[in-house]
Amino acid sequence: MSATPTTNYAEIFGALRPEAALVLGALVVLGVDLAFGRRRSEAARLRTSALIGLAAIAVAVCSALGAGHAGAVVDGVIVLDSLGVATRVGVLGLSGLTLLLAPGTSRLRHPAEFVAILLFATTGFTLMAVAQHLLLAFLALELASLSLYVLAGFDKTRPESAEAALKYFLLGAISAAFLLFGFSLLYGLTGSLALPDIARHLATQPTSTLLLVALVMILVTFGFKAAAAPFHLWAPDVYQGAPTAAAALIASASKLAGFVLFVRLLWSGLLSASGDASTLAGAPGWMPVAAGMAGLSMFLGNFVALAQTNVRRLLAYSAIAHAGAMLLGVIAAGAAGPGPVFYYAATYGLATVGAFGVIAVVDQAGGCHQLSDLAGLYRRSPLLAGCLLVFILSLAGIPPLAGFFGKFAVFAAALRIGGVAGPLGWLTLAAIFLSAIGLYYYLLILKQALVIAPAADRGRISTPANAALVLVVTAVLLVVLGLFPSVILGLF
Amino acid sequence: MTALPCTIYISFLGALLALVAGARSAAAARWIALVTAVTAWLVVLASAVGFQAGPGLQTLVDAAWIPELGVRYHLAVDGISLTLVVLTGLAATAGILFSWNITHRAGEFFALFLTLIGGVYGVFLSADIFVFFVFYEIAIVPKYFLIANWGSTNREYGAMKLVLYSFAGSALVLAGVLWAYAANGGQSFALADLAAAAANFTPGQQIGMFALVFTGFAVLAGMFPFHTWAPTGHVAAPTAASMLLAGVVMKLGAYGCLRVAMPLFPVGFVFWQSTIATLAIIGIIYAGLIALVQEDFKFVIGYSSVSHMGFVLLGLAAANHQAVAGAVLQMFSHGVIAGLLFAVVGRMVYERTHTRKFSDLRGLPLHRLLPFAAITFVIGGLASMGMPGFSGFPAELTILIGTWKTSPLWATFAAAGILVAAAFTLRAIQVSFFGTTDQSVPAAPGDHGHAHDYDPITWPERVGAILLIGATVYVGLKPDVLLQWIGPALQSPFFQTVLKGGTP
């Protein structure tokens, strides 16, 4: 690069204030617990740690908003644009909700460590949101992923948790290797690690086989992060085995950050290798592959979800189906901008955090594994039942909730690319019809919660105040964002 | 006039209040529900009095909603939607009166009921397809819970089937509408804008879009062969929900066909016209014949609804001024009559005898035990058969005359359907209420003589029945009261394209 290699630490710190706040917060959490936590109960330590963590997240949100839209900073390694700022605030919000959910609904052996690692994961997410440089992108992704592996295996009393963590880690490590290999090929092809430079170099050279290999490697990792078929196999086990708060984080903030990272990577870095998915004979590139993954995910996710009896596994397969729809949004982001896919991922994250929140509370009151464990929720806790109704209907895409509008915006954007005539159009129509199938299994959850009478031995559930706050805030957000989607769409 | 959108907000607000009040007392919830429905209906009637019929939609609200996609919150009314809004108010009020005995989770029942009503008002008042679609889907989910929670025979199956059919239909509509929106460059969802843009679509596009949108709506209107959700759903539903499903929700489908599918894609309509008419006629006769052999009282009414909705679709397919006006009149008329019949079967009879089997009812002298129910059902039956003096008569007559102008053959077949309707209605009346006139039929053991002591018909039932009977008689004697709204609305250029294109 031609820029002078003087390092401006003030500029770096200015751009990374949210991350600094999170890391500092994590250290304070550990220090306070070390100093004062000895004699106190685990629940009290979790409360203190969560409170400090929330404060750190609040500071991070303020500084993320305060950083403004400065554009590319620190020699183009970091980009502070509207997408970056919105994603930072989005992942911080989702992580904050997850963290607020934890006290009272999780029994953890090492609460301070859990909170600290959650903050480190969030640091990874916020970096992913603004990374415009392959090295930073990889580091951010790995920081987030390694933290998530630990979080998934945090419940040492249950073998499922260890199994989930191991499976997640092994597959994640392989996918990271693929990503690194893909990045190194890109570097070899273009001689640069910065996305704008890569785009400039790629535009001048014809699509080579080597580039296609690099693309495939990068897309494998993308599929893994997004839990898109055929790289989805970890999702059901992790959703089922991980502690609920960890599963919620993996399903929400991690998804949002991953999608934004890859939108940036694919569109601003690999634009000239996008190929064409609007006709069958289109040029090869990442777009046809992404379209294939989208179609496969939607079919597989929706149909396999029909057969699930475990709530978390059902949510996992529904997540796979949603990942397919979000991939459509990634493809459409070129023409319609990142607005629709960001809106989709953010509101999907909200609904998922809410759904996991309900599961966590029910879990504390006698277990929540099978669908039938939700039976009679309307009588055991009207609050939980009402909130679950909002979350599930939002996932199903029923207006006026945000999930409907996310789907609508993504599908409208995808159809505008090539009409209904090409493969992309067929895929969109298939997605619309598959959402009707999705309603079936979502209604199965709601049927248990709102129609079936509770089993005789199940009493009322008391919801901890912090969890109730999370659930109500999430439900209200889903309604408000659904009624006024311009609040988010207008940002881009 | 401009107060009409309040009906939507009043209904949703009432739903919230009923939910909150229902946690304390069922009586409070049902009074809140009744006051809500009546208030909304009075708003409608007050607006109807001041309504100046004219061609074209008269805007009520028009505000930017989602500028990024060109969506405007645009509500408007014309004579057609006003007719159906009046019907909605009537059906809602009567439905709540006939649910007066609900005590199990009453708050939730009335909240869902009012949410459904609010969605229906919204659909009828929308002038932007996005808004239309949002309200259309809001009306789907409450149906599942109403049926699955408070229904009867096979309720969970019926509820799931009904909702999946509805949702699959709405997916078709969404696909067609998004296709049109995308083909127009993604500028606007306003009905008027899309209709203007559709003129530039190729015939192939129009045929495809029309097929998607029309089929999607026709599923909800109960068009053969997509009608099978209707009988099972209606039978499984609690009385008020059956009244609403047959009375209003099926009209949403027909209204969507008329308001969205036909004017937007006239070329596509002409291509599919004879197919629609054929399916409509098959529906009229086939559903009528099935109704003739049912052993469950409620199934008779369920299939009769499919048969009568066939007339609406036939009127739309004939696509001339008279036939379409008749179709709208039939929507109103069937909404009232189906509500009345379901009320008698589901509330007055079933809740007292706990059977709907003709073989059981035959052994009961119901005309003596429940004279009010018998009289109401006879009146409803006569109206349903299309006897002069009731609303069914002008409606079906207008449809037949209009259809004759397009195709005498269609009209002939449809007229045969009226005979079938008379047959199954008379059979139902005879077997259910006057079964024991044949003394040779032995009474079932334990059913000796007048041992039955049914609760008398309550005041809400009487008020509800009289409201519905009054409406069908009033419109039957003076159909002009609705036709003078409907006629001018059909004169708008919006409808004239398809009405001219539809006449051979």
C-alpha pair distances (Å), B369 with each of B99, B297, B351, B353, B354? 21, 17, 14, 11, 14
Q: CB of B301 within 8 A of CB of B432?
A: no
Residue B449 has pLDDT above 70, yes or no: no
With bands split at pLDDT 50, 70 and 90, how would you rate the model's confidence at A480? very high
Strand segments (E) across B293-445:
none
A&B contacts, CB < 8 Å: 87
Distances, alpha carbon B59 to alpha carbons B2, B73, B263, B361, B436, in Å: 8, 11, 18, 51, 57
Q: Do B66 and A411 touch (CB under 8 A)?
A: no
Which amino acid would we find at residue B144? Y
Place of tokens 């209604």: A443
B418-444 mean pLDDT: 75
Between B385 and A276, the more confident residue is B385
Q: What is the pLDDT of residue B446?
A: 45
Could you read off the pLDDT of A83-117 as tens digits, one per residue?
999 999 999 999 999 999 988 887 788 889 999 99
Average pLDDT of chain B is 87
pLDDT at A472 over 80: yes
- Per the CB < 8 A criterion, the answer to whether A470 and A391 are in contact is no
Question: Each residue of A428-444: pLDDT tens digit?
Answer: 999 999 988 899 999 99
**Residue numbers in B near A393 (CB within 8 A):** 141
Beta bridge partners of B303: none
Residues of A in contact with B175 (CB under 8 A): 429, 432-433
- Predicted confidence (pLDDT) per residue in B72-130, tens digit: 999 999 889 999 999 999 999 999 998 888 888 888 899 999 999 999 999 999 999 99
Going by C-alpha positions, the residue among A193, A183, A334 that lies closest to residue A263 is A334
Name the region of B223 (left: φ>0; alpha: ψ -120 to 50; beta: rest). Answer: beta
CA A340/CA A488 separation, integer angstroms:
9
d(CA B502, CA B504): 6
A7, with CB counted inside 10 A (0-12, 13-18, 19+), is exposed
pLDDT(B281) > 50: yes
- Is the minimum CB–CB distance between A460 and chain B shorter than 8 Å? no
**pLDDT score recorded for residue A26:** 95
Are the C-beta atoms of A343 and A485 separated by less than 8 Å? Answer: yes
Which pLDDT score is estimated for A246?
93
B137-152 mean pLDDT:
89
Q: Which residue type does B57 have?
A: L
Residue with tokens 């079906």: B396
| Domain locations in chain A as residue ranges | 15-489
**Residue A57: which of A136, A115, A139, A130 has the closest Cα?**
A115
A312-335 average pLDDT score: 92
Segment among A345-359, A404-418, A467-481 with least mean pLDDT: A404-418
Confidence band, pLDDT 50/70/90 cuts, at residue B198: confident
CA distance B115 to chain A (A): 12
Distances (CA, A) of B306 to A242, B23, B94: 51, 37, 21
Residue B222 · residue B247 · CB < 8 Å: no
Backbone angles phi, psi at A131, to 5 degrees: -70, 135
Q: Which of A135-149, A282-296, B343-357 has the highest mean pLDDT?
A: A135-149
Q: CA-based angle B345:B348:B353, to the nearest 5? A: 85
Candidates B134, B138, B160; nearest CB to A443: B160
The chain B residue lying nearest A414, using CA atoms, is B182
pLDDT band at B436 (very low <50, low <70, confident <90, very high): low
Report the 10 Å Cβ neighbour count for A335: 12
pLDDT at A5: 55
Which neighbouring-strand residues pair with B64? Answer: B72
pLDDT at residue B502 greater than cutoff 60: no
* Host H or E run for residue B64: strand B58-66
**Residues of chain B contacting A426 with CB distance shorter than 8 Å:** none
Whether residue A400 has a cis bond before it, omega within 30° of 0: yes
Please state the φ and ψ torsions of residue B66, each to the nearest 5 degrees: -125, 85
Q: Is A421 on the interface with B (CB under 8 A)?
A: no
What's the pLDDT tens digit per position in A44-93? Answer: 899 999 999 999 999 999 999 988 787 888 888 888 889 999 999 999 99
Q: Which residues contact A109 (CB under 8 A, 6 or more apart)?
A: A42, A156, A157
**What's the gap in Å between the CA of A441 and the closest CA on chain B?**
10
Tell whether the model's pLDDT for residue A169 goes beyond 90: yes
pLDDT at residue B378 greater than cutoff 50: yes
In this model, does residue A2 exceed pLDDT 50? no
Q: Measured between alpha carbons, how far is B412 from B404 in angstroms, rounded to an integer?
A: 8
CA–CA distance, A383 with A395 (Å, rounded to integer)? 19
Distance from CA of A220 to the nearest CA of B (A): 31
How much is the pLDDT for B448?
A: 46
Q: Give chain B positions within 8 Å (CB) of A412.
A: 69, 178, 181-182, 186
Among chain A residues, the shortest Cα distance to B166 is held by: A436
Beta carbons of A415 and B182 less than 8 Å apart: yes
Share of chain B above pLDDT 70, in %: 96
pLDDT of A12 strictly over 80? yes
* Rounded average pLDDT over A363-369: 84
Is it true that the peptide bond before B225 is cis, omega within 30 degrees of 0?
yes
Contact A375/A453 with Cβ under 8 angstroms?
yes
Q: Which of residues 378-407 of A touch B (CB under 8 A)?
A: 378, 382, 393, 398-400, 404-405
Q: For residue range A177-201, what is the model confidence (pLDDT) as tens digits? A: 999 999 999 999 998 899 989 998 8
Q: Hey, which residues does B59 pair with through a beta bridge? A: B76
pLDDT > 80? residue B451: no
Which ipTM value was assigned to this complex? 0.91
CB-based burial label for A111 (10 Å; 0-12, 13-18, 19+): buried
Task: Give the bridge partners for B71, in sequence order.
Answer: B66
Q: What is the 3-state secondary structure (H, E, C) of chain A?
A: CCCCCCCCHHHHHHHCHHHHHHHHHHHHHHHHHHHHCCCCCHHHHHHHHHHHHHHHHHHHHHHHHHCCCCEEECCCCEEECHHHHHHHHHHHHHHHHHHHHCCCCCCCCCHHHHHHHHHHHHHHHHHHHHECEHHHHHHHHHHHHHHHHHHHCCCCCCHHHHHHHHHHHHHHHHHHHHHHHHHHHHHHHHCCCEHHHHHHHHHHCCCCHHHHHHHHHHHHHHHHHHCCCCCCCHHHHHHHHCCHHHHHHHHCHHHHHHHHHHHHHHHHHCHHHCCCCCCCCCCCCHHHHHHHHHHHHHHHHHHHHHCCCEHHHHHHHHHHHHHHHHHHHHHHHHHHCCHHHHHHHHHHHHHHHHHHHHHHHHHHCCCCCEHHHHCCHHHHCHHHHHHHHHHHHHHHCCCCCHHHHHHHHHHHHHHHHHCCCCHHHHHHHHHHHHHHHHHHHHHHHHHHHHCCCCCCCCCCCCCCHHHHHHHHHHHHHHHHHHHCCHHHHCCC
Cβ pair B145:A412 closer than 8 A: no
Burial of residue B63 (number of CB atoms within 10 Å: 0-12, 13-18, 19+):
exposed
Quick one: pLDDT at residue A328?
92
> Do B148 and A378 make contact, defined as CB atoms within 8 angstroms?
no
On average, the pLDDT of chain A sits at 90
Distance CA B101, CA B240 (A): 11
Interface contact flag, B160 A440, Cβ < 8 Å = yes
pLDDT of residue B438: 52
